[in-house]
Amino acid sequence: MLIDRMAKALSGLLIFMGVLHFVAPKPFDGIIPKEIPGDPRQLTYASGAAEIGIGAALLPTRTRRGAAAAAAALMIAVFPANLNTVRLVADRSPAVKTVAWARLPLQIPLIAAAITVWRKSPGTGAD
């Protein structure tokens, strides 16, 4: 059950990160690009709630397929914040810059995993 394990791993990551948005929102507020309209704290909370909800929906097989599609879309949607992090740490230490740059390609396997779960999960019965 590779797909089941992938779904659970994505779920755990999303729920953990979503909770972190509420427990320690300030770092998330700071990486939201200024070009994105809206209050950064509200956007932090909205993305955290989305991560928790999608993560929870990845667990039951009945909602997994739609949740996996939503997970891939969410990871693509938050990419500008990760890209903005690179811009924000341009004058920081090499270690901080390395971490910021490393996050960018790391999203590719996460998005690929979400797409794989979406493709390999059974439909909801509506198909």
Q: What pLDDT, in 10s, does the model give residues 7-48?
A: 999 999 999 999 999 999 999 999 999 999 999 999 999 999
- Quick one: tokens of 20? 């972190």
Q: Give the pTM.
A: 0.88
Q: How confident is the model over 111-126, as a mean pLDDT?
A: 85
Contact 114, 10 (CB under 8 A): yes
Tokens encoding 28: 């998330």
Q: Identify the band that residue 1 occupies on the pLDDT scale cut at 50, 70 and 90.
A: confident
Looking at every residue in the chain, the average pLDDT score rounds to 93
Q: Predicted confidence band at 124 (pLDDT cuts at 50, 70, 90)? A: low
What pLDDT shows up at residue 123? 76
Model confidence band, residue 127 (pLDDT cutoffs 50, 70, 90): very low
Cβ-count burial 74-105 (b if 16+ within 10 Å, e if not): bbeebeebbbbbeeebeeeeeeeeeebeeeee
pLDDT higher than threshold 80 for residue 126:
no
Separation between Cα atoms, residue 121 and residue 48, nearest integer Å = 25
**What pLDDT is recorded for position 15?**
98
Q: Tens digits of per-residue pLDDT, 53-109?
A: 999 999 999 999 999 999 999 999 989 998 999 999 999 999 999 999 998 999 999
Task: For residue 75, give every residue at least 6 positions away whose Cβ sits within 8 Å of its Cβ, in sequence order, or none.
Answer: 107, 110, 111, 114
